[in-house]
Structure 1
Amino acid sequence: MTLEILTSDALPVKHGFFTRKGGASSGVFAGLNCGQGSTDQSEIVAINRTRVAEAMGVLPEHLVGVHQVHSATAVTVDAPLTEKPRADALVTRTPGIALSVLTADCQPVLFADAQAGVIGAAHAGWRGALDGVLDATIDAMEALGARRDHINAVIGPAISQRAYEVGPEFLDSFMAEDPEYARYFINGNGDRMLFDLPGFGLNRLRAAGVGHAEWTRHCTFSDPDRFYSYRRTTHAKEADYGRLIAAISL
């Protein structure tokens, strides 16, 4: 099966939000599981990642990522990494390197200032987005010569509001930062709320002053044939879940 790669006209560089289609994994990981931290067979994950690298036109070792920890840390990359730093975003101005992030409900966000030749990729779950990982990515891109008003940012497949039920403590975390964030919550059952993660991500990107921000409007939870979902796996009481990959290169 061929790979399915979602793209956006807003990013005029090589990029892709890869769905789970076209991979070598089986069982609960069936498809293009690129998560080296999953319990999937490491050699199968390596095959999947090689397929992604080929689709991006880079060597497998030039498909770089980080050890994601739900932080607000962005790192600058100018060569293939020998060890993965603990961070949740990467930026570069070096051609031939594909920046990548892994997700399974969190937001994969790809950035490009095509004029300056600077790109970025961020893993933005609720904690990272609230703590400022998107802002940190933009700051790191500016340090390489990008202009924030020239940066286009695209949020890929992520969990949508209708599927993202949270409790009152979750709401409290956002209200403590800014009472205006209440707009990203609607009432659910009982004391439950439904949180708009992509809407919040778009707000943070636009508040940071990027030239353009959009969401591809794909919900990971609601489309099991195309996307992995941590929350869907949890509801189904499955042992583990695959990780989607998003990548961008100059």
Structure 2
Amino acid sequence: MTDIAQKADHLSFDGIAHGFFGRAGGVSPAPFDSLNVSIKQGDSQENVTANLTIIADQLGIQPSKFGLLKQVHSINVVQFDGKADWDNRPEADGIVSNVPGTAIGIQTADCGPVLFCDPDNKVIGACHAGWKGAVGGIVHRTLDAMEELGANRHKIHAVLGPCIHPENYEVGDEFKANVLKDWPELEGHFPYPPGATKPHFDLPGTIMHQLESAHLHTAAHLDICTYAKNETYFSHRKATHLDTKTGRQLSAIAIL
């Protein structure tokens, strides 16, 4: 079977499968071509279900044991018990599991997908870190939930997948002021790239700062910008600039 996902060495352990999936390898037509995992922009449920089944097969698990979320830009985290219901997903932006034979996944199209694992204690986690989740604490909430399932924070490995980079993420002065009002420590995460007249937001830098401050075993970043690599990954902001629709990609991790 052709491998259609980006892998990270920091998550490559016996008994753990993972993948940062992109646009390739699915059945959806343009502009959702082709491994789209969301119906929100107009793709069919049949296509999305087929694509999720392809991803489950890549991970080596049954679709009925693939836990997914209704993501709402929150800092809520849920435990997955191994019984998936894709039609009635819990509203949350972080998910954890210690059930063998299960997978959990996060969909994104510029926001930051973070995958976690404690390979010794066989606990996995995933979170969706848009700017609200990133500054609000979704990373630490996910780590806390993993520890509730028996993970040891110092044995957890985390990888941030493809997301929008600051050079392509202009936010403006009002956005910056609103964020710094509550999180003044993020002052350094609003760069002005060459030629910029308005501040940009360093989403991956913000997420990595949280991961690195959590005293994990390892914290790494794939360093892939979804906007710049739009031919490989879905990017909501790029699609907006091109006045078109786009899909969502999935980042997923499994305990085999």
Q: Tell me, yes or no, whether TM beats 0.5.
A: yes
Structure 2 residue aligned with 1:205, among 194, 208, 211?
211
CA contact (8 A) 1:168 1:191 kept: no
Q: TM-score, normalised by structure 1?
A: 0.95
SS in 2 for 1:23: coil
Opposite residue 210 of structure 1, the aligned amino acid is L
Fraction of identical pairs, as percent:
39
Using the TM superposition, give the Cα deviation of residue 112 of structure 1 relative to its aligned residue in structure 2, in angstroms: 0.4
Give deviations 1:22-60, integer Å, cap 9, x for gaps: 111111111110113331011111111111010011111
Distance, in Å, in 1 between the alignment partners of 2:65 and 2:40 is 19
Task: State the match for 2:199 in structure 1.
Answer: 193
Change (3 A) 1:234 1:3: farther
Opposite residue 199 of structure 2, the aligned amino acid is M
Opposite residue 66 of structure 1, the aligned amino acid is L
Of 132-141 and 3-12, more deviation after overlay is shown by 3-12
Using the TM superposition, give the Cα deviation of residue 191 of structure 1 relative to its aligned residue in structure 2, in angstroms: 4.9
Distance, in Å, in 2 between the alignment partners of 1:63 and 1:76 is 12
Q: Does residue 79 of the first structure (1) align with residue 82 of the second (2)?
A: yes
Task: State the match for 1:92 in structure 2.
Answer: 97
Structure 1 residue aligned with 2:21, among 3, 13, 18?
18
CA contact (8 A) 2:69 2:93 kept: yes
Using the TM superposition, give the Cα deviation of residue 179 of structure 1 relative to its aligned residue in structure 2, in angstroms: 2.4
CA contact (8 A) 1:3 1:21 kept: no
In structure 1, stretches of 5+ residues that fail to align are: none
SS in 2 for 1:110: strand
CA contact (8 A) 2:96 2:123 kept: yes
Q: TM-score, normalised by structure 2?
A: 0.93
Give deviations 1:115-157, integer Å, cap 9, x for gaps: 1110000011010111111110000001111111111110000
In structure 2, stretches of 5+ residues that fail to align are: none
Opposite residue 77 of structure 1, the aligned amino acid is F
SS in 1 for 2:81: coil
CA contact (8 A) 2:135 2:183 kept: no
CA contact (8 A) 2:66 2:82 kept: no
Distance, in Å, in 2 between the alignment partners of 1:3 and 1:150 is 27
CA contact (8 A) 1:185 1:194 kept: yes
* Aligned residue runs from structure 1 range 18-97, under 5 A: 18-82=21-85, 83-97=88-102
Aligned-residue CA RMSD in angstroms? 1.5
SS in 2 for 1:180: helix
Opposite residue 10 of structure 2, the aligned amino acid is A
Give deviations 1:134-184, integer Å, cap 9, x for gaps: 110000001111111111110000001111111112212331233231111
Using the TM superposition, give the Cα deviation of residue 5 of structure 1 relative to its aligned residue in structure 2, in angstroms: 0.7
Task: State the match for 1:142 in structure 2.
Answer: 147
Distance, in Å, in 2 between the alignment partners of 1:94 and 1:37 is 29
Task: State the match for 1:126 in structure 2.
Answer: 131
Distance, in Å, in 1 between the alignment partners of 2:253 and 2:223 is 19
Using the TM superposition, give the Cα deviation of residue 204 of structure 1 relative to its aligned residue in structure 2, in angstroms: 0.9
SS in 2 for 1:52: helix
Q: Does residue 104 of the first structure (1) align with residue 121 of the second (2)?
A: no
Distance, in Å, in 2 between the alignment partners of 1:164 and 1:38 is 21
Q: Does residue 225 of the first structure (1) align with residue 234 of the second (2)?
A: no
Change (3 A) 1:3 1:36: farther
Give deviations 1:190-245, integer Å, cap 9, x for gaps: 6511211111100011222222111101110011221000000110111x210000
Runs of 4+ in structure 1 deviating by more than 3 angstroms, as ranges, are 188-191
